[in-house]
């Protein structure tokens, strides 16, 4: 636990995270340590299991859900629904195709159906409609979709993340980071084992490669 706190402080002093992110990361680290202690106390007869977990080096440390991306028929309808019903804060509304709906430290990205690569506008097929009697009741067949999930990870370094993804066969040397999420934002899109679009994201510090390229 001590070395985790020391690393968090080093990252904060190096500009890899702001004060709010430092406080959140310290809280998460404390919660994880407490949970680990409870788990070990509940399974004293299996020390090998805890040893195996300790020996396994994790690639990344996920700290929070970054955002959920919704492709919808009319983002304005979705915007008003979630803002009015759920109290989400509307931000970065471009007035044409998309906006952000913020809640806590997370965000829902609502945007109109976009043209898929190699396809025509609106050619993304909706999920298959459920047959009568399948438990859907009188709900209409879905016409929209969640097109990806984004998780933010701890201690982001674009080059290191890319190297790890290449090592795992999830990226190639030609893979480029997605930096469209605002100043200092960097991410990679990969496919998970079920074919879902997984976005791994983080905030690039002042010495990160994407930061230097934009300077």
Residue with tokens 């070395």: 3
Residue 122 predicted with pLDDT over 60: no
* CATH topology for the 65-122 domain: 2,3-Dihydroxybiphenyl 1,2-Dioxygenase; domain 1 (3.10.180)
CA distance 10 to 16: 9
Domain ranges, ordered by start, for the chain:
2-40+50-55, 65-122, 155-215
- Token digits of residue 128: 């298959």
| 118 half-sphere exposure, CB direction, 13 A CA radius | 0
Render pLDDT for 142-166 as a digit per residue (tens, 0 to 9): 678 888 989 898 889 999 999 999 9
pTM score of the predicted model = 0.57
Length of the chain: 215
More confident residue, 146 or 109: 109
**DSSP-based helix, strand, coil % in the chain, nearest 5:** 35, 25, 40
């Amino acid at each position: 636990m001590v070395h985790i706190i020391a690393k968090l402080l080093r990252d904060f002093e190096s500009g890899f995270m702001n004060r709010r992110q430092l406080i959140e990361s310290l809280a998460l680290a404390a919660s994880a340590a407490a949970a680990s202690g409870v788990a070990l106390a509940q399974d004293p007869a299996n020390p090998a299991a805890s040893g195996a977990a300790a020996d396994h080096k994790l690639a990344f440390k996920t700290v929070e859900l970054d955002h959920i991306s919704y492709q919808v028929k009319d983002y304005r309808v979705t915007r008003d629904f979630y803002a009015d019903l759920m109290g989400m804060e509307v931000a970065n509304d471009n007035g044409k195709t998309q906006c952000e709906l913020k809640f806590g430290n997370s965000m829902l990205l609502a945007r109109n159906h976009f043209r898929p690569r190699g396809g025509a506008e609106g050619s993304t097929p909706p999920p298959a409609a459920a047959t009568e009697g399948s438990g859907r009741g009188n709900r209409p067949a879905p016409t929209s979709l969640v097109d990806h999930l984004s998780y933010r990870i701890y201690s982001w370094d674009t080059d290191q993340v890319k190297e790890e993804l290449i090592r795992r066969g999830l990226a190639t040397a030609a893979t480029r980071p997605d930096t469209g999420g605002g100043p200092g934002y960097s991410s990679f899109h990969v496919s998970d084992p079920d074919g879902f679009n997984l976005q791994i994201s983080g905030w690039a510090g002042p010495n990160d490669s994407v930061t230097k390229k934009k300077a």
